[in-house]
A and B are shown apart, each in its own frame.
Chain A
Amino acid sequence: MKKITLSALAALTIALSITSCKKGEEDPGFTILSRKARVTGEWKVTSLETASERTSINYYNGNIARTPYTTTRSVTHDGATYSSTYVSPNSVTNTNETSTGTGSVAAHTYTFKKDATWESNYSYTETVVTPYANFTQTTKTTFSQIESGVWDFTSGVGKENKSKESILVSVTSSKTVRLVVIDITAGSNTTSQSDTYTDEYTYAANEKSFVWNLVMLKNKEIKAEASFENTYKGDVSSVNSGGTPFLNVNTSVEETGSNKIVLTR
C-alpha cells in the first residue's frame, strides 16, 4: 500500500513537472534544464522572418491630400541566404513598384550569459538591381552590427502570462556600419556613390527594450517572435475668434507586422 502511494506521488510529481515546463506552444513536454539554462549559451540565427505593412491616409480640410497608400517590407534569411522585398506605390502614378534584394549572411549570432548580459553580431551583404526606363540602378549594401545589453524573463501576472514565457532584451550598446554603393549606368556614362554610415549608440539598462515571446525553448533550439500592430488617428482643428473653422487635418496610420527568429545552438 505504501509503495503504491509513493508511486502515485512520484507520477503526480512528474506530471506536475511536465505541465510546469511547458510555457511556449512548441516547448518540450519535459526537460530537466531550467529555462535560464536553456537560454544561456551561444546561438546562431538559422532563420529570420520580418514582415511589415504600413497604410497611411491624410486629409487636409476635408480633402484627401494623397491617395491612401500602403507599403510592405519583408526580410528573410536562413543563416546563409538573405532576401528582401519592398513594395511601395509610385507617388505620381500610384501603381505599386517592387524592389527585391538578394545577398548572403556572413554572421548572425547571439550569446546570452547567466549574468544577464547578451551580445550579438549580425553582418550581411545585399544587392538590389532596379531597372528604370533609361538606366539601371544597382545598390550594394554591406551591413555590420554589433550589439550588447541585458536580458531578463518576464513574470506571470495575469491569466494569459506564464512566468518566464517571454524575455526582455534590452540594448545598452549598438554599433552599426553600413557601406552603401549606388551605381547608375546609362550607356557609357556612369555615376557611382559610395557612402559609409557609422552609427554608435549607448543606452541605460531597459531604456531601449524588446520583448520576445518564446514560442519554443529547447536546449538546442529557440523560436522567438514579436508582433506589432499599431494604429494612430489624429485630428487637428482650429477656429478663430468668430468661431469659423480654418484648419482641419486628419491623419490615420496603421502598421502591422511580425518578427520571427530561430536560434540554433
Chain B
Amino acid sequence: MKKITLSAIAVLTLAFSITSCKKGENDPALSLKSRKSRVAGEWNVTNYSVNSSNSSTSPNNGPSNSVVNTTNTSTNDESHDGTNLTIISSNSDQNYNFGNNAVVTTTTSSTLSGKIMHHTFVFEKDGTWSAEHHYTTTETITRRNGDEIEVREITSETKSSGVWNFLGKIGEAKNKESMIVSTLSSDNTTTRVSTTTYPNSSVAQSSVSTTKNVSTNTYAVNENANIWKITQLKSKEIMVEGTFDNNYTSTNNSDFAYTYSGTTTTTSSTNTSSGYSKGTVKMTLTAQ
C-alpha cells in the first residue's frame, strides 16, 4: 500500500513537472534544462518571415477647394530559410489628378531575391545578447521598353547588441513564456550599387553609382525593446513570433475666427484620417 502511494506521488510529481515545463505550444513535454539555459547559446536564424499589410486614408486637396480622401495600401512579405531571401512587396497609391478630374490609382509590385550571408544571435546567461544580419539582394529594373536596364545590388550588414529578460506570469501569461529583447546598440552599413546599361544604343555606354549609408544607433536599457512570444523552446531549436495589429482614427475639427475693424469672419473644417498596420514576424533559431 505504501509502495503504491509513493508511486502515485511520483507519477503525480512527474505530471506536474511536465505541465510546468510546457509554456509554448510546441515546447518539449519535459526538459531537464531551465528555460534560461535553453535560450543561452549561439544560434543561426534558419527560418524568418515577416508578413505585413498597411493602409492609410487621408484627406487631400480636391477640385474647387474640396477635400478628397485618398487611400494608400501596401503589403510586404519577406522570408528566408537561412540561405535564400525573398522580398515581395506591392503598393497601391491614390492621388487626385486635376487633369482627369478623378482619383487615379497607381499600383506597383516587386519581387526581390537575395542571399543571407549571416543571420545569427548569441544569448548570454548574463542577460546580454548580440546579433549579426548580413544579406545581399539584386534587382533588375527595365525601362523604356528595354532600352535602359538598371541592375541594383544592395548589401546590408547590421551588428546589434543589447539585453534580454523573460516576462512573468500575470493574468493568462505563463511564467517565462515571452522574452523582452532590448537593443542597446545597432550599427548598419548599406551599400547600393546601381549599374545602368543601354543595350539598344548604337554607342556602348553605361553608368555606375554607389551610395553608402552608415548609421549607428544607441539606446538606454528597455528604451527600444521587442517582445518575443516563445512558441517552442528546445535545447537545439527555438521558435518565436510577434504580432502587430494597430488601427488608428484621427479627426481634426477646426474653427477659425478673424476680427478686423469690428468685422468678424469665420471658417470651419473637419478632416479625418485612418489606417491600420498588421502582420506577424516569425523566426526559427537553430543551435550552431
Contact = CB atoms under 8 A, between A and B. Distances in A.
Given A196-B252, A203-B245, A229-B219, A238 B225 contact: no
B227 A159 contact: no
A239 interface: yes
Contact of B165 (A150, A154, A229, A230): A154
Interface residues of B, number: 64
Contacts of A231: 216-218
Nearest to A153: B168
A154 B127 CA distance: 12
Contacts, number: 189
Size class of the contact patch on chain A: 35 or more
Contacts of B217: 230-232
Nearest to A35: B168
A265 to B, nearest CB: 19
B contact face: mostly helix, strand, loop, or mixed? strand
B236 interface: no
A64 B224 CA distance: 29
Interface string A38-79: 000000000000000000000000000000000000000000
Contacts of B250: 197-200
Contact of B258 (A154, A160, A191, A241): A191
A134 interface: no
A168 B171 CA distance: 13
B251 A197 contact: yes
Contacts of A91: none
Name the residue among B168, B249, B251, B254 with the largest chain A CB count within 10 angstroms: B168
Interface stretch (A2-10, A99-107, A205-213): A205-213
Interface string A225-241: 01111111111111111
Contacts of B176: 155
Contact of A159 (B127, B220, B246): B127
Nearest to A115: B171
A168 B216 CA distance: 26
Contacts of B210: 238-239
Contacts of B223: 226-230
Interface of B: 36, 125-128, 163-173, 175-176, 178, 180, 182, 206-220, 222-225, 227, 229, 242-262, 278
